Amino acid sequence: MAKATKLASGNWRCVAFLGRDKNGKQIRKSFTAATKKEAEALARACELTEKKSMKVIDEKEMTVINAIDRFILKKEAEVEKKKISPSTLRGYKKMRNNRYDDIANIPVLKITDDIINAWIDTMEEEYAPKTCKNTYSLLRSALIEVLPRHVVIDWRIVLPMIPKKKVVVPLEKDILTVLKHFRDMDYEMYNVCLLAAFGTLRRSEICALTADDIDRKKKLVHINKAIVPDDKNGWVIKGTKTELSTRDVVLPAFVINSLPESGNVVNMTPDAVTARFSRCIAHYDFHFRLHDLRHYSASIMHELGASTETIMHRGGWSNDTTLKDHYRGVMNEYDTAFTKKLNKHFEKKFAM
């Protein structure tokens, strides 16, 4: 909701946004009161009542695609205010253009659970379970904006189960092979791999990093931004993925000394980074991604006894659920060594 502004008279004015008419023109209503709190309360009350009734009574024939378009329009304003990432908006628009053809022209007041479940079943034949879930989530969010409050959004919706991802942790000998390859063939990618494997940086963070973000005296990098795709097929700089992703990471001297002293650390987009890394991996017939170097970094920290808080801070993870579910794999080489050591201890102490 908009914030109230103080008028020359001393009163406060707040404008409620009630949607758009058939021509796309914004419908607004102004409220004036003696205090800021009162003006904002009046506008908020209007948005919660009048706006809802206007959407249902005046727009009874609003279709599913109309609702999604309205939701995306709202999110465009949030991108401008930096409330959501440009890449999130890009994802919404991509889904809007590709995944709602079967239900696009159905009036929202005639949508039922049977219609949605049939649509999901059809979509499941072509898309992965997570994609189906994300596509339904956008539909649900759009319908919440336009349907009456008493309508139950989730009905009896059955979404496909999302299989748990198998965490891949590259072996140290394979990481060394990749590093040697890029050191000799592609020094920019060498630096990318150093930052991913030893600093737990994401590719979006690496591509946004500049020499100004490097403190050579303290041997650390300041991670405070990322580069992401926008809805116009371009790349934009934004803040980090989460608040906790903004962090300082102390690195080994050999990593700091390898990084350029001016300009961008790498002059590539994240997609270009992925493409170059994939060619190298294919050449050696390895089976891990650039992002899996973060798994290695988290795993080795865990193996060396680092606390959950330390691992989360260094990697910029916002909660330990994500860390436990996806990143704290135990590397096979360390697991094997530990098992041998454990069994040797049992044999020595208890063999009869």
Q: Are 13 and 30 in contact (CB under 8 A)?
A: yes
* 3-class SS letters over the chain: CCCCEECCCCCEEEEEEEEECCCCCEEEEEEEECCHHHHHHHHHHHHHHHHHHHHHHCCCCCEHHHHHHHHHHHHHHHHHCCCCCHHHHHHHHHHHHHCCCCCCCCEHHHCCHHHHHHHHHHHHCCCCHHHHHHHHHHHHHHHHHHCCCCCCCCCCCCCCCCCCCCCCCCCHHHHHHHHHHHHHHCHHHHHHHHHHHHHCCCHHHHHHCEHHHEECCCCEEEECCEEEECCCCCEEEECCCCHHHCEEEECCHHHHHHCCCCCECCCCCHHHHHHHHHHHHHHHCCCCCCCHHHHHHHHHHHHCCCCHHHHHHHHCCCCHHHHHHHHCCCCHHHHHHHHHHHHHHHHHHHCC
Please give the mean pLDDT across all residues of the chain: 85
Write the single-letter amino acid at 162.
I
What pLDDT digit, counting tens, does each position of 207-225 carry?
Answer: 999 999 999 999 999 999 9
pLDDT reported for residue 56: 39
Which residues of the chain carry a pLDDT beneath 50? 53-58, 331
pLDDT reported for residue 174: 95
State the pTM of this model.
0.69
pLDDT reported for residue 41: 85
pLDDT reported for residue 82: 82
pLDDT reported for residue 114: 93
- What six digits make up the tokens of 164? 């748990």
For the beta sheet containing 26-33, the strands, ordered from the edge strand earlier in sequence to the opposite edge, are 5-6, 12-20, 26-33
pLDDT reported for residue 1: 56
pLDDT reported for residue 333: 56
Give burial (CB, 10 Å; 0-12/13-18/19+) of 161. Answer: exposed
